[in-house]
Each structure stands twice: as structure tokens, then as C-alpha cells.
Amino acid sequence: MRRKELPVPSAAYPSWLPGWMSAQEIDLWGGAGLQDIATPHDETGRGFPFAISWAVRMDPRIMVGIRNGPDRAYADEYARVNGRINEVSRLLAAEIKDRGFRAEPLKASERTDLINIKGDFPHKTAATRAGLGWIGRNCQLVTRQCGPWVRLGTVFLDMDIPCSTPIVRDFCGRCRRCVEACPAKALKGSVWQPGIPREELLDADACDQWKKEHYFQYHEGHNCGICSAVCPYGVKGLKGKRHT
């Protein structure tokens, strides 16, 4: 069987896009090729060949303070950053549509499949394909710039954009701090590679149940963050100032 030919993206971003992202204070972003993977559909029932993925930094002073569990400051920061992501997603999708292309934003932290505890599409998949980072043993995206102390945004689109080189391996080495710190014992300690089932990295039920039993006061048990807080890559984000 002949291999399906994939669309070739353009060699450069449209001139308006880098400036637009800079104006939104988004400095960690890239294009992701998704031609070989199912994406959410728009109102016409069509999927998308590309995505723009970006990361919004969490306040490192708050992140370093939740190694023993979430607190109100973290819950508020989690909500603030998610709100910012959704705002940027909406504005970016509207900008792309105004320029004559299809676009669809993916909401931050939205569970649409309550049984399997997942959303319509993993932000992390777009992010690894956009070269932003890899999936650590904590089953979260880890960036070199600020570890897993970020939250992710994604907008699907059919406008040709250059795609970054996907990251296809992890850089956690032998570190298992997140696995050892997880109070739910939900992390399996497996090494990530593209296509690995989530179940080999994380017991999502155990994670979800622990949060609901112990941290329900924070967004009805959607917050924990311990496995992120202990990541050595995250410590690099400590700058003594709040990131936006």
C-alpha cells in the first residue's frame, strides 16, 4: 500500500502571526502537523491538518509552594491561566477566520469524556508535535524553559503553516521524583514515546479519585500539581517574578 501523501506546509509563518503572538505575550509556541491524526471537526464536519500550540507559564513562586499539595493560590492561578488560554484561543481563531481560513479553538482543561477522564483532543499531542516539549513521567508536557509549570493552548486550523520538528523522546533521564511524590501512586514510571497509551504512564482513575477525596475544595477535585511542583526542570522557572 502506498503511503498517503501529506500536505506540505509553507516555509514561513504568515507575516502577521509572530507579531500577533508577541502582542499576546506568548513566547513559547509553534506549528504542529496533524495530517495523520484525528482532530475535532468544525461545524462542516471536517477536521484540521495543522494546529498552533502554545504554553502559558504558571507563576513559579506558586508552583514551588505546592509540593505537599494544592492551595488556594494555586487554584486561583490555575483558573486565571486557563481563562487566559481560552481568551487567546478565541481571539486567534477569530483572527484566522477573518483571514479566510477555518479554525477551531480547543478549550483549556475541559473534560468531555467523564468516563475516560479526557477531553476532545490532548493539548499535549499538539505541543509535542510543535516541538514545545516532551511528556514526562508525570504524564505532563515538560518544557526546557520552565518544565511542566505551564498550561497549554491549541487552535486547529487549515492555513498552511511551517511545522516544528516534533519531539519524539523524553529527556527525564533516570529522574523519578514525580513518581515518588505522587500521593495517589498513580504514575507508572514508564518512559514516554509518541503513541504510547496513557494507561502505561498514568492510572487516571486513581489520580482523579485521590484529588476528589483530598482536594475537592479546589475546582471540585481537578487540582493537585504535586508531580509538577517537584520536577527539576520546573525549578529553572524560578525568577522571583510573576509570569503572564
> Of the candidates 14, 24, 96, which has an alpha carbon nearest to the alpha carbon of residue 54?
24
Q: What is the pLDDT of residue 174?
A: 96
Q: Mind listing the pLDDT tens digit for each residue in 142-196? A: 999 999 999 999 999 999 999 999 999 999 999 999 999 999 999 999 999 999 9
Q: What is the C-alpha to C-alpha distance for residues 123 and 208, in angstroms, rounded to an integer?
A: 18
Q: Which residue's C-alpha cell is 479553538?
A: 105
pLDDT band at 19 (very low <50, low <70, confident <90, very high): very high
Q: What is the C-alpha to C-alpha distance for residues 55 and 30, in angstroms, rounded to an integer?
A: 10
Mean pLDDT of the chain: 92
* Residue-range domain boundaries for the chain: 16-235
Q: What is the pLDDT of residue 1?
A: 34
Give percent of the chain above pLDDT 90.
Answer: 85
Q: What is the C-alpha to C-alpha distance for residues 222 and 92, in angstroms, rounded to an integer?
A: 27
Q: Mind listing the pLDDT tens digit for each residue in 49-89? A: 999 999 999 999 999 999 999 999 999 999 999 999 999 99
Q: What is the pLDDT of residue 201?
A: 97
Q: What is the pLDDT of residue 3?
A: 36
Q: What is the pLDDT of residue 12?
A: 86
pLDDT band at 236 (very low <50, low <70, confident <90, very high): confident
The amino acid at residue 60 is P
Neighbours of 242 (CB within 10 A): 12
Bin 160: left if φ > 0, else alpha if -120 < ψ < 50, else beta.
beta
Mean local confidence (pLDDT), 17-24: 97
Could you say which DSSP state residue 104 is in? E
- Grouping H, G, I as helix, E, B as strand and the rest as coil, residue 101 is coil
Mean local confidence (pLDDT), 103-126: 88
